């Protein structure tokens, strides 16, 4: 590991016996990621991959609020409005390479997705070997709410969720508690928050032949009933529709109050992001390969960042002016270009921004 990586205060990397321990330490921003933090995480994984003294890696977050609220979207906003597209592309390329690296890392990576774990936080936690949630966990891919689309391999995790719960989570941006996250395939084990310290110590002092998974199982507790699982009948029937318009029609035709509330929510969200995200989840289901999906996502996020005003407007309304009143363009589904999805998927970034597979 470089001296810069070791000294960066926002990512603490240290060895404790045979455990490599990475802590995101930007608690004032719920450990939101910028490109420097991503590069530090990658450098630590590089250093430990071939170190015979390191058997496993633990990733957690500082503070009480969460593992990671996602990427630094305020920084993304600044890049887009100043026209710094190259830096935007660099951020996503570095992030996706890290996501792919976590998924294929030869040593088990254990992640404590305690508290808020959303967007880019899912890219860190969702592809790890052992994914731990707590009673405080709130996981989500809420990108549509800012005029964007799920990325960091999240569209593949959504595509693999049971039934049509992936489409539901992608289009609504709704959060999952521990039971929902385990049910949807975003997490593996529930460990009470007050036992994480004991689990961490067990990972440090473990005795062979116990694996990281076997140790986590010693602390695992059964999650309660999943709201997602109980809602499957109306979610599957409505979110299997071919278009957002048809999903809304089916939601309005259901008797469940939750279905009507979901329709009301979708009516407030950006039509472009909804249409493209529905297609993205279904395309990811067909691809069923993380690297291929990351390449798909890279093209889509640059399409949003370089051609669509909704992303800047969504960030402005939520995080800059904080007025909660975005003005989407177009504002209605009727005004969408009939080939908007085809435009998004056919988008080819400038050669300097593409430069090959973004997951490598």
C-alpha 103/C-alpha 157 separation (Å) is: 12
Rounded (10°) CA dihedral 200, 201, 207, 212? 0
Residues 74-81: contacts with CB under 8 Å, at least 24 apart: 74/315, 74/319, 74/320, 75/34, 76/305, 76/311, 76/315, 77/312, 77/315, 77/316, 77/319, 77/320, 80/305, 80/311, 80/312, 81/312
Whose tokens are 């009507």? That residue is 260
Distance CA 349, CA 110 (A): 35
Active site residues: 71, 120, 143, 151
Question: Residue 337: how many CB atoms within 10 A of its CB?
Answer: 11
Alpha-carbon span 87 to 91, nearest angstrom: 6
How far apart, in whole angstroms, are the C-alpha atoms of residue 61 and residue 265?
31
Q: What is the DSSP letter of 320?
A: I
Phi then psi for residue 86, to 5 deg, are -60, -40
Indicate the burial class of 104 (C-beta count within 10 angstroms; 0-12, 13-18, 19 or more).
Answer: exposed
Rg (CA), the chain: 20
């Amino acid at each position: 590991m470089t001296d810069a990586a070791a000294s960066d205060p926002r990512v603490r990397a240290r060895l404790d016996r045979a455990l490599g321990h990475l802590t995101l330490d930007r608690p004032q921003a719920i450990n939101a990621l910028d490109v420097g933090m991503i590069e530090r995480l990658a450098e630590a994984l590089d250093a430990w991959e071939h170190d015979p003294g390191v058997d496993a890696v633990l990733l957690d977050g500082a503070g009480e609020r969460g593992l990671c609220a996602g990427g630094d979207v305020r920084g993304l906003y600044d890049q887009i409005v100043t026209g710094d597209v190259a830096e935007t592309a660099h951020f996503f390329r570095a992030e996706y390479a890290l996501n792919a690296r976590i998924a294929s890392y030869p040593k088990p990576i254990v992640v404590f997705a305690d508290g808020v774990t959303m967007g880019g936080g899912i890219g860190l936690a969702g592809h790890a070997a052992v994914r731990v949630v707590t009673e405080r966990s709130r996981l989500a891919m809420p990108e549509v709410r800012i005029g964007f689309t799920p990325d960091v391999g999240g569209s593949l995790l959504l595509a693999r969720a049971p039934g049509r719960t992936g489409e539901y989570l992608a289009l609504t941006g709704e959060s999952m508690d521990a039971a929902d996250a385990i049910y949807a395939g975003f997490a593996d084990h529930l460990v009470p928050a007050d036992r994480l310290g004991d689990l961490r110590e067990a990972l440090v002092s473990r005795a062979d032949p116990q694996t990281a998974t076997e140790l986590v199982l010693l602390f695992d507790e059964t999650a309660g009933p999943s709201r997602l699982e109980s809602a499957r009948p109306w979610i599957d029937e409505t979110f299997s529709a071919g278009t957002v318009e048809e999903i809304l029609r089916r939601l309005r035709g259901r008797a469940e109050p939750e279905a009507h509330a979901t329709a009301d929510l979708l009516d407030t969200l950006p039509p472009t992001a909804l249409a493209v995200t529905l297609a993205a989840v279904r395309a990811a289901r067909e691809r069923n390969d993380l690297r291929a999906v990351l390449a798909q996502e890279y093209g889509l996020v640059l399409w949003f960042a370089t051609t669509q005003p909704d992303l800047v407007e969504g960030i402005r309304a939520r995080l800059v002016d904080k007025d909660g009143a975005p003005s989407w363009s177009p504002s209605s589904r009727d005004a969408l270009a009939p080939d908007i999805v085809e435009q998004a998927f056919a988008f080819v970034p400038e050669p300097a921004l593409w430069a090959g597979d973004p997951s490598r």
